[in-house]
Structure 1
C-alpha cells in the first residue's frame, strides 16, 4: 500500500511539474506582425470589435462603419447628419450593447448645434443600418478641446468620460456633467446606487479622460494633463481626482491641503513631459503572451503604442514598454478580437489607418 501511495505522489508531482513547464512555455514571447487593413480614413475615433466578427468604428465627421478584418472591406452603416466637427469635437465614442443579438443597440457620443453641446445617443441596428435614435443624455458641455469621451459598458451599466470643455469651474462641480466619469443604466436612467442622488456622476475632478477599460472589477482611465502629469487612474465610486487643483500626485505644497480636505484619489502613474494618452484596453489573452496582464495604451503626441504591465495585484504598473514608435503617427483607439488579435487606429487627420497586430 505504501508503494502505491508513493508512486501516486510521484505521478502527481510529475504532472504538476509538466503543467508548470507548459505555463512557462505559454508565456514565451511571439514575433509580432502588423498589417494595415484600411488606409483611407479621416480621423477615426473609436474601434469596437463586434459580435459579428467585424470592427465597428466611428469617424469624427459623423460616419459609423464596419470593417471586415479578413478582407479589408469597409461598409458604411450610417452618417449622423447633425454631428458638428469643431476642434477636437465631433462623433467620438461608441459602444455596443453586451447582449447585442437580443438588444441591437449602438451607443454613441457626439457634438452638435450652433450652441455647441455633446450628447449620448442610442441607435437600433437592423438590416445593415442604424435607426430609431434616442437621446439618453443631453446638454453635456462641449468645446474645441477637452470633450472626452470614451464609452464602456460593464454588465447593465454604461460609463462615459467627459472633458472639462476648457472650463476650470466644471470638474469640481458635481452638478455639471463636464470633467466627469458618468454612470448610467443602459436605458439612460440614473442608477439608484450612484454616489450622488439622481445624478449620473460616478467620479469627478477630471480634465480630459480619453481611455477607459476594466481589469476585473477595477475601472482604469487614461487622462490628458496640462503641461505635466498625463495620468493613469483607478476610478472609484464618488472619488475626486483633483483637477484643476491637483495634477498627478498630491505632492505640491498647494495640493496637499486640497487633497486631504476633498478625499482626492491620486493617479497610479504619470508622465511629464506629457505624452497625450488616448484609447486603452486590458490585454490578458494567451494569443500574444508577452502582452498578458497589461494595459495597452494609444499615444497621440508620442506616436506609439505603450504597454503598461500590471503587478499581480493589478493595482499598480510594474513595467512600461514601447512599440511602433513614430511608425504610424498619432494613435487614437484600440480594441481586440476574441482570438486575441489587436487593432488600433491612427489620428493624423488624413489617410488614417486601422492596423492589425497578430503573430
Structure 2
C-alpha cells in the first residue's frame, strides 16, 4: 500500500513538472480555521493604482494616479486601457483617484471619477461622469468642481447608495481647520444626485454636504443602506466610521473616541459621531470592501481593509447588527508592501492593489485554495 502511495506521489509530481506552469509570484498559502487561502499576482507594472472594483462585465476596473483608467481581465491579468485623462495633475498623493460605476451599468453605462487638476494655478478636485461605449470613455460631464486639493489629504473615494446617490469623500487638503468650516468643501463627505444636482433631503438645502469633520477618509463602502468609511488619523486614532446624515466626525478637535481633555464636551455640543474602531499608533487605512460570500466562510460579514503603513490586509469582523467590531485579523503583513484598495468579486475572490511606486505595483488575487 505504501509503495502504491509513493508511486502515485511520484507520478503526480512528474505530471505537474511537465504540464504545470510555474507561478513565480505565488507565496505559500495562508491556513485559516475554516479555509485555506491562496494568493497570486495576476498583474504587474502598474503605477500607483488608487481604485479597484469589480465591474458588471466581469472585469476589474482600476484607476492609476497618473490619469489612466483600465479594465483588467481577472483570468489572465491582461490590461485593457480605456482612457488617459489629459488634464489630470498628479502631485504627491493627488491625481486620478476614486471611481465608481452606475449600478444599472448594462442600461446606463456611466462611469464616475474624481481627480485633481490645475485650475488657473490652483490645485483642485472635480467629479466627472463619463459614458462607456464598449471601447473607451466619452462625453465627460463635470458634476462637481472647486473641491480643495493638495499633495496630501485628498480623501476621494466614491460610492453609490441603494437609492442612487453619489457619495464623495474629501480630505482636509492639508488644512485641518477646513474640516469644521461649513463654507469649505474640504474635510467633508458630499452627497449628490447622479446628474450632479443636489438632493432635496440633504442636511442643508442647496448644499452637497452630508457629513463634516473629516481628516482624510480613503475608504467607503455601502452594506445595504449603511455606509462605512475608513479614515487616516494624524499621530493617533485611525478610524472606521459609520457615516450618518449631518453628523460631525470631530477632526481636528476630536481624534478617535470622545475620551480625552476637552473632547467629551466638544462631542456633546457638536453632535460628534464616534468611530466603531480606532487604531493607535496609526496604521494608515485606505480602501475597504465588504465580504458576504460563502467561499471564505470565516470572512463572512466582515469589512476587508487595505492598509498602507502597516502593509497588510485586515479582516474587520462585524457583529450581526453591523454596528460593532467583534475582531480584527491580519493577513499578508509585509508580503506585498503598501496596499491601497481591495475589491470582492461575486464569486468570493478578493483582489488587492499595491501602492509601492516605481511602475512595479501589482494586483493580487486571494481565493480559497482548491
Above 0.5 in TM-score? yes
Indicate whether 1:112 and 2:121 are aligned. Answer: no
Q: 1:278 aligns with which of 286, 289, 307?
A: 286
Task: Find the partner of 1:309 among 305, 317, 326.
Answer: 317
Q: In the alignment, which of 357, 362, 367 is matched to residue 353 of structure 1?
A: 362
For residue 34 of structure 2, what is the aligned residue in structure 1?
29
- Residues 88 and 144, structure 1, Cα contact 8 Å, conserved in 2: yes
Q: CA RMSD in A?
A: 1.1
Q: Which residue of 1 aligns with 2:66?
A: 61
* Contact 1:223/1:231 (<8 A) preserved: yes
Alignment of 1:151 onto 2:175: no
Structure 2 residue 272 is the aligned partner of structure 1 residue 264: yes
**Out of 244, 250, 258, which is 2:258 matched to?**
250
Secondary structure of 2:179 counterpart: coil
Q: In the alignment, is residue 142 of structure 1 matched against residue 154 of structure 2?
A: no
Match in the other structure for 1:319 = 327
- C-alpha contact (below 8 Å) 1:28/1:289 kept by paired residues: no
- In the alignment of these two chains, the number of paired residues is 333
**What is residue 183 of structure 1 aligned with on the other side?**
191
Q: Distance in 1 between matches of 2:71 and 2:93?
A: 23
User: Residue 287 of structure 1: CA displacement?
Assistant: 1.1
CA contact (8 A) 1:228 1:272 kept: yes
What runs of 5+ residues in structure 1 fail to find an aligned partner?
1-26
| 323-332 or 114-123, which deviates more | 114-123
Instruction: Judge conservation of contact 1:35–1:357 (CA < 8 Å) in 2.
Output: yes
Structure 1 Cα separation of the partners of residues 134 and 228 of structure 2: 35
For 2:122 and 2:33, locate their aligned partners in 1 and report how far apart those are by CA, in whole Å.
54
Residue 28 of structure 1 deviates from its aligned partner by 6.9
- SS at 1:246 equivalent: coil
The 3-state SS of whatever aligns with 1:131 is strand
Measured in 1, the distance between the counterparts of 2:224 and 2:109 equals 25
Range that drifts further, 254-263 or 132-141: 254-263
TM-score, normalised relative to structure 2? 0.89
Q: Output the CA distance in 2 between the equivalents of 1:62 and 1:159.
A: 21
Helix, strand or coil for the counterpart of 2:152?
A: coil
**Normalised TM-score (structure 1):** 0.91
Partner of residue 3, structure 2:
none
CA distance, structure 2, for counterparts of residue 318 and residue 169 of structure 1: 33
1:190-201 maps to which residues of 2 (within 5 A)?
190-201=198-209
Q: Distance in 1 between matches of 2:311 and 2:208?
A: 34
Query: Of 240, 259, 262, which aligns to 1:232?
Result: 240
Matches of 1:268 and 1:171 in 2, distance apart?
20
Question: How much does 1:213 deviate?
Answer: 1.1
2 CA distance for matches of 1:237 and 1:304? 31
Who is 1:20 aligned against? none
- Measure the CA separation in 2 of the matches of 1:215 and 1:124: 26
Between 165-174 and 288-297, report the one with greater CA deviation.
165-174
Gaps of at least 5 residues in structure 2 are: 1-31
Aligned mates of 1:295, 1:50 — CA distance in 2: 19
